[in-house]
Amino acid sequence: MSIPFTLNGKPAAYEGSATDRLVDILRKDFKCPGVKVGCNEGECGACSIIMDGVLINACMVAAGRAYDTEIITIEGFRETEKFAVLDRCFAETGAVQCGFCTPGMILAAECILTKNPNPNEAEIRDGLSGNMCRCTGYNAIVHAVALAAKEGKGLW
Amino acid sequence: MAEISGSVVKVDHGPKVRGEARFVADYPMEGILYGKTLRSDRARAKIQAINVPELPMGYVVADARDVPGKNGVLIIGDDTPVFAAETVEFVGDPIAMVAGPDEAEVERILREIEVEYEDLEPVLDMRKSEKVFYEYGYEKGEVDKAFAEADKVYEEILQTGHQEHGYLETQGITVVPLAGGKVKVHGSIQCPYYVRKALVLALGIEPGDIQVIQDVTGGGFGGKEDYPSMIGARVAVTALKAGKPVRVVYDRREDMATTSKRHPTYSVYKAAVKDGKVTAMDIDLLYNAGAYTTISMVVLQRGTICSNGVYNIPHMRAHGRSVKTNSVPNGAFRGFGAPQVFFAVEMFMAHIAKDLGVDPVAFKEAHFVKKGDKTSTNGIFHHGVPLPQMNEKLLTASDYWAKREAYASQPKGRYQRGIGMSYSFHGGGFTGTGERDIIKAVAALQKYPDGKVEILTSGTEMGQGLFTTFAKIVAKELDCPIDQIIVKLPDTDRVPDSGPTVASRSIMVVGELLRRAAAKIKAEWKDGEAQRVEERFQQPEWQIPFNYDTFQGDAYPTFSWGAHCVEIEVDTYTGEQKVIGAWACYDVGTPIDTTVVIGQMEGGFLQGIGYAHMEQMNYDKKGRIRSNSYSDYTMPTAADVPKMEMHLCVEEYPEGPFGAKGAGELPLVGVPGAYVNALEQAIDKDFCHIPVTMEDTLTHWREGGQA
Ligand code: FES
Ligand code: FES
């Protein structure tokens, strides 16, 4: 059976089992190692991807769920103008330490801003609360998202 | 602030933010076997037999009999077996490793291996342990006399629990066997030379036959200090047996249940008080080492030395023991034995103050050490102690006095608030003369004909910003742009041993070697030529030699300082504790990049908040860790501390690069004292243990405590 979907703007199809985990096939078969595995149990957000506009944990869904969806991983998102703004803001506030949570955090930030281009601090914290970071204490990430909202006015 | 303190974009920012940085699990598996570890499910037992099913072609099982060298992982001692041979000593003790090309098949074989055990009675309670791994003690002044002359004597038992590092990237290592019995190791590694040293013993080959390279590493916090030596040895033995590269990447539950943690402690503190001041302390510390010694020796040393906190106690006696239990071996974790005693002494001081009817902040301040005072081990605080200024800054920033007073008389309602403060220090570098006698750091700079300069040290980047701060130090001294400096992940074939990336030593010790090397290269600079300069560690002449038998002398050349204030609100209906404000002030000398330092302070501080009240890990009666996932072991999220404000105070260290001193561990060390003191005020109950969980607050009320 073939599972067709759009990956980072390009048509893709998975020819394996529908019960395989999406995170595994993205990392192995579709060469998206920016999708990280921190827990494999839906608790850390390191495997965050955007599926049809919604932030999801790729470790918690079966490949079959990808059927006919549009998936964005960091590999695709990093080519966008919005990423360029987030990249600059994350650099500015020092929001990247070990970098393991970062791809997930960037995609979480994108989803926060898409939903609400002018989030307040509490809304940002709430939007990031599914993504764990053990290094930063979160302040720098929260500030980066707030800064991106300002600097990227009109983009979201 | 110094010019160097201005912030730059981190040198490793780009690949990390773009998701291009390659962690060990990200390298393709083509030609590499999956390795999985067979572990003991008993806390203590004799191994009678290991029955391995018939293996399909291409699969191997390695156990103790396959270890070509000594079956011991050299850490400080070598009592940690590569694979358990006769006995297992904790649930999770590795017995064998299965490797093969298909992951699911490897797991099937693992499930089908039968281990026959003869059960032995495990020791899980550290207080019942009869096996003392290490014991230290020292005394200064006239302790007994001070107790005899006291107006009042206090005694309290203080306890701390496990803490899990929780780095987002689990442990992982790849070992590639090379021609001629050589091996190449790469992975998530904090101390590449430690791994090499361990493989020399376990494989029985020469250091030059082992190449260890750090991959991009997703957090360490001490958890990847000794552990990669163990995985490294196990994977290497398996890879040599298979004759193929093998990779092991732990899953989260395996990592949480079987890798090192912060030592739980049980401490008895006694104090003599005369005329409103503490004149003497008598301290007895017990650290739960777990099943093997790993690095408990040095953890205990630091804890014992720091047990009086930031207070000048003229007469004191400290005695510490680190004992064996049949539980996961505990190791290094940011703070290294100190957070346990700082919690204890901070609570003890606060409780004495309460009994004397004075505010804990005023009481503690009256005991702050000053420059020139003697340390606990009759060393000297050689440099300025900015605690009073730091304290002042926080009292103002947090509005402590007004809040403390208001909360003392708050009407009883559903939500109760409290505010508390705590203080800490952290001595940078190895304890005593360790830098001079054990580490003997060497750092080098290689200048290329095109004018680029490469930093050659064994310092690892795990998120703490080391590559950026190293590059800044060298660029500053050479007076060149930072992009002229090259820093790569360390490879033992290319870099000298500048020591492990631990003990808040990298900037203070190795950074200074790099600064000196840069100054030298600048002075000898020849355009268009390759040049190399090496620098070696020298102990400052004024440092009073530390005697490890008597515990006398300068345990650390200098100290970094911390002050913390936490304000919390407790929901008396649910027991939920919420941080509503958090402030800290740290002195790490000159910050080599303010953004990097603030990032370290914020990250460490939040780990301290987790340690104080969220992060709980226990064993059941059979010695099994049940809280082995992120859902059972809760760590702070972005929503847990809505307001966290960091301040810096600069007391330059003349021997550090541009005045910098140790930073990495400091921010975690003292946090729980402030948190718990705030909680105590909020619900009017004293606590002597961490973590203090929601369950603790509920128990208090259930037992009749007033909300
Ligand atoms: S790896 Fe998917 S949530 Fe942690
Ligand atoms: S930067 Fe390390 S986990 Fe977030």
> pLDDT tens digits for B338-375?
999 999 999 999 999 999 999 999 999 999 999 999 99
- Residues facing residue B416 across a β-bridge: B570
What are phi and psi for residue B576, nearest 5 degrees?
-65, 135
- Mean pLDDT in residue range B465-474: 98
Question: What does DSSP assign to residue B401?
Answer: H
- Mean pLDDT in residue range B302-317: 98
Packing angle between helix B192-203 and helix B227-242, nearest 10 degrees?
50
What residues flank ligand 1, with Cβ below 6 Å?
A 37-40, 42-47, 57, 59
- Residues facing residue B418 across a β-bridge: B568
Distance from CA of B219 to the nearest CA of A (A): 6
Residue B651 has which token pair?
């007391």
So what's the pLDDT on residue B2? Answer: 86
- What's the rounded Cα separation, in Å, for the pair B271 and B269? 7
Residue A98 to residue B630, Cβ atoms within 8 A:
no
Cβ contacts of B7 on chain A, cutoff 8 Å: 94
What chain B residue is nearest to A33 in terms of C-alpha separation?
Answer: B26
Which residue owns the Cα nearest ligand 2 atom 2?
A98
Alpha helices in B172-328 (DSSP H): 192-203, 227-242, 252-258, 296-305
Residue B638 to residue A98, Cβ atoms within 8 A:
no
Which residue owns the Cα nearest ligand 2 atom 3?
A133
What chain B residue is nearest to A85 in terms of C-alpha separation?
Answer: B17
- Please tell me the distance between residue A47's alpha carbon and the centre of ligand 1 in angstroms: 5
Residue A39 CA, closest ligand 1 atom number = 4
For chain B, helix, strand, coil in percent to 5 are 30, 25, 45
- What's the rounded Cα separation, in Å, for the pair B651 and B694? 39
- Please tell me the distance between residue A133's alpha carbon and the centre of ligand 2 in angstroms: 5
| Residue to probe by mutation, ligand 2, list A93, A135, A141, A145, most atoms within 8 Å of CB | A135
Which of B252, B606, B638 is nearest residue A39 as measured by Cβ atoms? Answer: B252
B95 pLDDT above the threshold of 90: yes
Cβ contacts of A33 on chain B, cutoff 8 Å: 19, 22, 25-26
Question: What does DSSP assign to residue B182?
Answer: -
So what's the pLDDT on residue B92? Answer: 98
- Please tell me the distance between residue B597's alpha carbon and the centre of ligand 1 in angstroms: 28
Residue B19 to residue A136, Cβ atoms within 8 A:
no
How far are the Cα atoms of A47, B149, B237, B389 from residue B302, in angstroms, in the given order?
38, 30, 34, 26
Residue A140 to residue B463, Cβ atoms within 8 A:
no
Q: Exposed/middle/buried for B275, CB within 10 Å: 0-12, 13-18, 19+?
A: exposed
CATH superfamily label, A3-77: Beta-grasp domain (3.10.20.30)
Cβ contacts of A36 on chain B, cutoff 8 Å: 23, 168-169, 218
Residue B630 to residue A43, Cβ atoms within 8 A:
yes
- What's the rounded Cα separation, in Å, for the pair B389 and B437? 36
For residue B100, which of B202, B222, B247 has the smallest C-alpha distance? B247
So what's the pLDDT on residue B643? Answer: 86
- What's the rounded Cα separation, in Å, for the pair B299 and B295? 6
Q: How confident is the model at residue B1 (pLDDT cuts 50, 70, 90)?
A: confident
What chain B residue is nearest to A130 in terms of C-alpha separation?
Answer: B637
Burial letters A16-43, b for 16+ CB under 10 A, else e: eeeebbbbbbbbeebebbbbbbbbbebb
- Residues facing residue A14 across a β-bridge: A3
Cβ contacts of B187 on chain A, cutoff 8 Å: none
Residue A132 to residue B630, Cβ atoms within 8 A:
yes
Distance from CA of B414 to the nearest CA of A (A): 23
- Mean pLDDT in residue range B455-473: 98
Instruction: Decide if B360 contacts B350 (C-beta within 8 A).
Output: yes
- Please tell me the distance between residue A61's alpha carbon and the centre of ligand 2 in angstroms: 24
- Mean pLDDT in residue range A119-138: 98
Which of A40, A98, A137 is nearest residue B168 as measured by Cβ atoms? Answer: A98
The residue with tokens 């007033």 is: B706
| Single-letter code of the amino acid located at B73 | V
Residue B638 to residue A141, Cβ atoms within 8 A:
yes
- What's the rounded Cα separation, in Å, for the pair B387 and B365? 8
How far are the Cα atoms of A30, A88, B587 from residue A15, in angstroms, in the given order?
11, 38, 57
Helix (H, G, I), strand (E, B) or coil at B601: helix
B704 pLDDT above the threshold of 80: no
| Single-letter code of the amino acid located at B193 | Y
Residue A96 to residue B465, Cβ atoms within 8 A:
no
Residue A134 to residue B167, Cβ atoms within 8 A:
yes
| Single-letter code of the amino acid located at B338 | A
Which of A91, A100, A103 is nearest residue B219 as measured by Cβ atoms? Answer: A100
Q: What percent of chain B has pLDDT over 70?
A: 100
Find the Cα–Cα–Cα–Cα dihedral A24, A29, A30, A34, rounded to 10°.
40
Which residues are CB-neighbours of B177 under 8 A, at least 6 positions away?
A: B183, B239, B240, B242, B243, B244, B245
Which of B170, B251, B638 is nearest residue A129 as measured by Cβ atoms? Answer: B638
Distance from CA of B71 to the nearest CA of A (A): 31
The residue with tokens 């941080």 is: B579
Residues of chain A with CATH 3.10.20.30: 3-77
- Mean pLDDT in residue range B257-285: 98
How far are the Cα atoms of B255, B353, B527, B568, B580 from residue B415, in angstroms, in the given order?
38, 26, 69, 10, 12
**HSE, side-chain direction, 13 A CA sphere, residue B152:** 10
Mean predicted lDDT score pLDDT of chain B: 97
* CATH number for domain B434-536, candidates 3.40.50.2300, 1.10.3720.10, 3.30.365.10, 2.40.110.10: 3.30.365.10
Q: How confident is the model at residue B706 (pLDDT cuts 50, 70, 90)?
A: low
* Strands (DSSP E) found in B69-145: 87-88, 94-100, 114-119, 132-140
Number of helices (H), then strands (E), in chain B? 18, 24
| Residue to probe by mutation, ligand 1, list A21, A26, A44, A56, most atoms within 8 Å of CB | A44
Task: Note the pLDDT tens digit of each residue in B366-409.
Answer: 999 999 999 999 999 999 999 999 999 999 999 999 999 999 99
Cβ contacts of B23 on chain A, cutoff 8 Å: 36, 100
Distance from CA of A60 to the nearest CA of B (A): 14
Task: Note the pLDDT tens digit of each residue in A46-70.
Answer: 999 999 999 999 999 999 999 999 9
CATH 1.10.150.120 fits A81-151, yes or no: yes
Residue B168 CA, closest ligand 2 atom number = 3
Domain ranges for chain B, please list them: 24-122+165-258, 353-430+553-702, 434-536
Task: Note the pLDDT tens digit of each residue in A15-38.
Answer: 999 999 999 999 999 999 999 999
Which of B13, B168, B601 is nearest residue A96 as measured by Cβ atoms? Answer: B13
Query: What strands, in cross-sheet order, belong to the sheet with B485-487?
Result: B485-487, B453-456, B442-447, B531-536
- What's the rounded Cα separation, in Å, for the pair A41 and A43? 6
Residue A134 to residue B168, Cβ atoms within 8 A:
yes
Q: Are strands A48-51 and A54-57 parallel, antiparallel or unpaired?
A: antiparallel
So what's the pLDDT on residue B701? Answer: 86
| Residue to probe by mutation, ligand 2, list B12, B13, B168, most atoms within 8 Å of CB | B168
Distance from CA of B608 to the nearest CA of A (A): 10
- What's the rounded Cα separation, in Å, for the pair A144 and A99? 15
Distance from CA of B605 to the nearest CA of A (A): 7
Residue B638 to residue A75, Cβ atoms within 8 A:
no
Helix (H, G, I), strand (E, B) or coil at A59: helix
Other residues' Cβ atoms within 10 Å of the Cβ of residue B365 = 18
What chain A residue is nearest to B254 in terms of C-alpha separation?
Answer: A39
What is the number of the ligand closest to the CA of A45?
Answer: 1
For chain B, the C-alpha Rg in angstroms (whole number) is 25
B707 pLDDT above the threshold of 70: no
So what's the pLDDT on residue B143? Answer: 98
Residue B169 to residue A36, Cβ atoms within 8 A:
yes
Domains B353-430+553-702 and B434-536 share a fold: yes
Residues of chain A with CATH 1.10.150.120: 81-151
Distance from CA of B595 to the nearest CA of A (A): 6
Instruction: Tell me the pTM.
Output: 0.98
- What's the rounded Cα separation, in Å, for the pair A144 and B10? 15
The residue with tokens 């156990």 is: B63
For residue B530, which of B446, B455, B444, B443 has the smallest C-alpha distance? B446
Task: Note the pLDDT tens digit of each residue in B565-624.
Answer: 999 999 999 999 999 999 999 999 999 999 999 999 999 999 999 999 999 998 999 999
Give me the CATH topology for the region B353-430+553-702: Aldehyde Oxidoreductase; domain 4 (3.30.365)
Residue B396 has which token pair?
């103002």
Cβ contacts of B168 on chain A, cutoff 8 Å: 36, 38, 44, 46, 98, 100-101, 132-135
How far are the Cα atoms of B76, B81, B215 from residue B445, in angstroms, in the given order?
30, 38, 21
Residue B603 to residue A135, Cβ atoms within 8 A:
yes
**Number of inter-chain CB pairs under 8 A, A vs B:** 164
ω before A11 within 30° of 0 (cis)? no
Cβ contacts of A98 on chain B, cutoff 8 Å: 16, 167-169, 217-219, 462-463
B24 pLDDT above the threshold of 70: yes
CATH 3.30.365.10 fits B24-122+165-258, yes or no: yes
Instruction: Decide if B175 contacts B183 (C-beta within 8 A).
Output: yes
Q: How confident is the model at residue B542 (pLDDT cuts 50, 70, 90)?
A: very high
What chain A residue is nearest to B221 in terms of C-alpha separation?
Answer: A135
- Please tell me the distance between residue A57's alpha carbon and the centre of ligand 2 in angstroms: 17
Instruction: Decide if B503 contacts B306 (C-beta within 8 A).
Output: no
- What's the rounded Cα separation, in Å, for the pair B471 and B130? 49
